[in-house]
Structure 1
């Protein structure tokens, strides 16, 4: 099963059970991805790290993540879209997923679906596929509405995972905004105080909030985002370690090397050599 729509403004949306076989979709580096294993299991390499997704588990990925499907042992469904079709930044007030479902960290959010949640997502997927058979000038907007409904449902499921009820929404939103700001500014701002100032909060308040919801400490979030970008540049570009250090805002190669060794327990050259041999 597969459906793809390309709009006149270069918007892309697709629902497919064969993402691993579609070369066009795999080459498209602009797509956000929601991947849901419906039967069996799936092994995906995300930024050169193998991740197993079991039955009734769902993950969300950004265009930043480099992925390769390594093993399909069952059935899965992928819902993919780019910002030209639906911009999660511009519609953040509608879906509240930016920095939560979707962020640039290598720590991918995995959701375990309950039977009730499986039924909800199957219903939405069925509506999406039914709409794919309607050929008129309203189809694009209808698919956008259905996509938004799928994202909102996933956001609600994720909130349940972190015990975010209505009373806690505003407090949790600060955590989400922090991730958004880190994604935007991690190359030049590497202290929690920088982000605390932008959010009009104290570093201690942020630390308490992150602890409350079971997230890594705020400083760790910054470091992991820098680490993720460093690894991507090392693995998927030919840039030198010095060039990458400059891109990531380090004073010199020595500072970048110390940071990388502290985060990964490997030197830059050891990491690059090991990954190329895998």
Structure 2
């Protein structure tokens, strides 16, 4: 089962399938899409994100952005997938916790995996049924209806994420600051390497950010910035033919030797050793 709605004038798409492994490359637009992956099976499903193994338990869903590289080669059971691009839902790039810049996509430092518990399962199953039916109603307001249903899914999932993934002692303003920081790092990690630069964008002090992430019981802000740079370097080594020198310049390093030193500090391997290890693993 595969459904798609596309507006060619806007370049927008929303797609839906109960077997994303089979249909992932069969949508009109596959690049730069944000995805919900939902395991509706009774057993876990295995796949990889950025070459890292992920196990999605039964009745759990997760979100991945256009920044991630996903492979379903190890998946034995079908995964329900909802994909959409910014042109469909994020035309104005609005900034709120249920936007494309929101908690589900940039609000946590790790890929969010959310449990659909028994008391919520009926609500999500009903959404699935209505969403499926709507793809069979091709009229002038179908796009608006699909957009509203997508927003409902994002709202339901955001509420669960706030309950399950975010420290209870944080208030809404603090949660929003964490979300905005993570989003800004994804935008500017090539050019901004200091916490103070992000603190200025957020109208906060660096100490306030450090204290906030300490309460959140996660990595310090500076580590998040460095990890993001290292992650992008690994992605380029895995998924492009770029040489180490090209990657260094692409990531904002003026000296390839400085990049090599940074990469070894972050991964305990030089870029060349990392590439060799990747080939052996493959």
| Fold shared, TM-score > 0.5 on shorter chain | yes
Partner of 2:19: 18
Choose from 116, 121, 124 the match for 1:121: 124
Q: 1:108 aligns with which of 107, 111, 114?
A: 111
Alpha-carbon distance change, 197 to 91 in structure 1, aligned in 2, over 3 angstroms: closer
Unaligned segments of structure 1, at least 5 residues: none
SS at match of 1:28: coil
Given candidates 220, 225, 232, the residue that maps to 1:222 is: 225
- Contact 2:90/2:100 (8 A) holds in 1: no
User: Which moves more between the two structures, 165-174 or 211-220?
Assistant: 165-174
- 5 Å-filtered alignment, 1:1-12, equals 1-8=1-8, 9-12=10-13
Structure 2 Cα separation of the partners of residues 200 and 240 of structure 1: 38
What's the C-alpha RMSD, in Å, of the aligned pairs? 2.3
Alignment of 1:121-200 (within 5 A): 121-163=124-166, 168-200=171-203
Cα distance between partner residues in 1 of 2:264 and 2:28: 32
Structure 2: 5+ residue stretches without partners: none
* TM-score normalised per structure 1: 0.92
Q: CA deviation at 1:99?
A: 5.3
Matched, 1:61 2:64: yes
CA deviation string 1:62-108 (max 9, x = no partner): 11211110233444311110111111762333714525322499832
Cα distance, 1:167–1:230 mapped onto 2, change above 3 Å: closer
1:56 CA drift (Å): 1.6
Give the Cα–Cα distance (whole angstroms) in 2 for the partners of residues 88 and 44 of structure 1. 31
Aligned length in residues: 278
